[in-house]
Amino acid sequence: MTAIYKIAETDNEKQEAYRLIYNAYVANGLIKPNREGIYKLPHHDTKYAKIFIAKHDKEIVYTMTIIDDGPLGLPLGELYYEELEKLRNQKLKIAEAGSLAGKIESINTLHNLFARAFCYGLYNNYDCYLSTVHPKHQKYYERFWGFVQIGEIKTYKRVENHPAVLLKLDFKVCWDLLPERTIKLINQTC
């Protein structure tokens, strides 16, 4: 499958991404259905959010969002405030990678979308990305992208009390953790 990868630019692209997140989250029991049929955080409406999308035949099939640590803070701060404050006190440039959703089963599309978000972090001189993920997905983030666990497993109200674990991708040290196939993909993408 050939996909186009980009940051959502139009209101239509953003709304389609919000609907994709909503449908995936409802299907997985992470949120309750709502009348609007979209899922977005207050952060999504700011200049601090970059909504990455993968389009196939003009339809968004995957999305993820990178949110800068701006005036609203990071969404994960409500659950992992202490861990976030420790990083802020180190004067690191931090962003949260989240709102991941897809409507197709394509690991290659997922990898390519992640690679673009990774390159965005490199080019914009981030020190790290943080992400809260369900523990069952933790090994993927660690093995393929070099994330490491920095917070204990907690119950996350935002996702209907499912468990979450805080992970960190440190752009300076992750290269030693990345498998060769990930490094190759990043080099091809960036």
- Evaluate whether 90 touches 57 at the Cβ level (below 8 Å): no
Q: Which of 150, 156, 112 is nearest to 2 (CA)?
A: 112
Domain count, the chain: 1
**Side-chain-side CA neighbours of residue 11 (13 Å):** 0
- Evaluate whether 5 touches 52 at the Cβ level (below 8 Å): yes
- Evaluate whether 182 touches 142 at the Cβ level (below 8 Å): no
Write the CB contacts of 138 (distance below 8 Å, at least 6 apart in sequence): 147, 149, 165, 167
Count other Cβ atoms within 10 Å, centred on residue 57. Answer: 9
Q: Which residues of the chain have pLDDT under 50?
A: none
What domain range is 155 assigned to?
4-189
What pLDDT is attached to residue 107? Answer: 86
Global pTM?
Answer: 0.94
Per residue in 135-148, pLDDT (tens digit) is 999 999 999 999 99
What pLDDT is attached to residue 1? Answer: 63
Element (H, E) at 5: strand 4-7
CATH number of the domain residue 55 falls in: 3.40.630.30
